[in-house]
Structure formats: C-alpha cells, structure tokens
Amino acid sequence: MSERSPSSFWRESAPLILASRSAGRRQALLHSGVPFESIPADVDERAIESRLEGGGADAIASALARAKALAISAPGRLVLGADQAASCEGRIFGKPADRREAEALLRFLSGRRHRLHSAIALVRDSAVIFETVGIADLTMRGLSDAFIAAYLTAMGDGALTSAGAYQIEALGAQLFSKVEGDHWTIMGLPLLALLEALRREGALLS
C-alpha cells in the first residue's frame, strides 16, 4: 500500500518503506508529511521473543523492530521497522496470541501502572542506521469482567495486534485513568526521534 502525502520536505527519490500494517503508525507518518509505502514484514515474532526471554522489554521490542526492517530491506531504500512490548511488575508482554490471553492480560493490568516500550529501527541497504526505544507509562483503571468481555468483543482481532491488547487511538482510550508519555510513542512510533534521524540522513529538509 502506498500513501504519498504531498510534502516539499521529503528529499528522497522514493518514499519511506514502513514494514508494518499498523493504522496508528501509518496515520502518524501521513500527518507528519512523510510519504511512505506500507509493506508488512512476515517475521516469526514468537520465535524472536523466546530467543530473548529474560533480555528485557527494550531488547525484545528492538529485536522485533530490527527484524521487520531488515526483512523488507531494498537497495537504496529507507525502511522503517517498529514494534512494542509492555512491562509490569517484572512481567513482559507482547501481542496476545488469542482472546483468552488478551482477557488474562487485561485482568492482570487492571488497576496497575505499566510501561510501554516502543522501538523503531531505520535501515538502508540492509544496515541499521538508527534505532531507539520510546517509553511511556500508563495506568489502567479498574476493569470489571463485564467491561473486559464487552471491550474484547468490540475490538475483535484488533485486540491481538498490539502489546497490552489495546490501541489507545481507538477503544483502548477507555481503559486508562492516567497516561504519562508521548502520544506517538503510545501509538507505536516515537515520531520526533524518527523525524530527527531522517533529517540527519538527509531524507528530510532541515
């Protein structure tokens, strides 16, 4: 999918490749004037997570972002990979595998404060030229079993596409009592850090 927002700021001859199907990431790039193509990467996320078990949420999110960007790497093109992990009281969570896992995760996070780790990796010619992890802290309000069931029914498979089983730009906003951190980071794309990296690379007008 190609989404070329008209931008006099973009200096590359071809748009950025986004190795993700995330609506939140596409929206952030579109609104910031970065033209891009969305080509989701097919990587075994569970295998990568299992190899890094015990390595921490930053390491897991970063490894997933790198793997996705490198999987889509094309000669001369800038490719952006991104992923998230959530951590709470010593536990690390990625995307839930199914509704049952999503339900258990929301029950655990209910009434607790957790940290969201949003990693990005920028690749050109199969080499990582920039990577970072953005952090946000979110406090989930106390959730009733009835609310969790209604939320998961309304979200459908969408609850399985994000760490923590939520998309804050959608119904996930109803889950929280307090959010501390950058909105773009919560949506899965530390945008300001990315834009600065693109300017350093000469891809954006300074």
The catalytic residue positions are 83
> Residue 165 in contact with residue 175, Cβ under 8 Å?
no
Which has the closest alpha carbon to 192: 146, 129, 152, 132? Answer: 132
CA distances from 94 to 7, 39, 57, 79, 130 (A): 34, 21, 9, 22, 23
CA–CA dist 118, 203 (Å, integer): 22
- Please enumerate, as own/partner, the contacts of 194-199 that have beta carbons within 8 Å and a separation of 24 or more: 194/80, 194/120, 194/122, 195/32, 195/34, 197/122, 197/129, 197/130, 197/132, 198/16, 198/34, 198/78, 198/122
